[in-house]
Amino acid sequence: MTGQPVQASSVVKVRLSGADGDVDVMAEVLSRSPTVEILDRSAPYPNRRDPGERVYLTVRVHPEAQR
């Protein structure tokens, strides 16, 4: 055992980065998809080197999407 937490099957960590409104639009598009479920969404963070912001999502991909 390595002591590292195990990532659940079908769960993906996603970082969205871009203009403030664009990040919200993309998160909304993902939330409406029948093949993914957004489990968690972080607060927006300002990008360090680029303009805009970033958010982190934890997403579950439903089995029917993996065919």
Q: Which residues of 12-50 are buried (b: 16+ CB within 10 A; e: fewer)?
A: eeeebebeeeebeebbeebeeeeebeeeebeebeeeeee
pTM: 0.78
What is the tens place of the pLDDT at every residue in 24-67? 999 999 999 999 999 999 999 999 998 999 999 999 998 776 55
